[in-house]
Amino acid sequence: MRFTSEELQAARDRLVPDVAASGLRVLFCGINPGLMTAVTGHHFARPGNRFWPVLHASGFTPRQFAPAEQQELLAHGLGITNVVARPTAKADELSAEEYREGGRLLAEKVAQLRPSWLAVAGVTAYRVAFGDKHAAIGPQERTLGDTRIWALPNPSGLNAHWTLATMAEEYGRLRAAAFADASVQAP
């Protein structure tokens, strides 16, 4: 599906609803919606974004979902939100203040939804939003209540030093941790 520049620019004011419910195993958290996501209303909708292929390759989903199938994640104990709600063409259009405010609002959302894991797809966004300038990819020491946090590589096609395979490996480490409880089976 192709959109005109005007259609994309008009989406800058649209809010993209979360795919979320209480008690998820993993609440994935993007940096902010891109304009393609804002136009379609589907998270990680840009064709070059590797979120959906990585989710499948890491074992979170039984097949590769299309962005329009995002609601199906809930049946697998998964959801999606963002650090910052404002759509932009690029994440560098966001201010540090927006990240910090987004982190505060995200903490409130996590307190309400109580997922087992919050998985922030973008370690730099995590660092700024939560004031942890030394955070690295992987599980974090910080928790939000009982919710553990994992910083993941950003699946954007612009993040070229992470390949599909290396991202799938890191996302797979999170999946193993999230479904380690013997009473819960991975999808």
Q: Measuring CA to CA, which residue among 9, 58, 62, 68 is closest to residue 34?
A: 9
Q: How many CA atoms lie within 13 A of 124 on its CB side?
A: 10
Supply the residues annotated as catalytic. Answer: 32, 43
User: What angle do helix axes 96-113 and 123-130 make, rounded to 10 degrees?
Assistant: 90
Q: Measuring CA to CA, which residue among 128, 118, 122, 119 is closest to residue 159?
A: 122
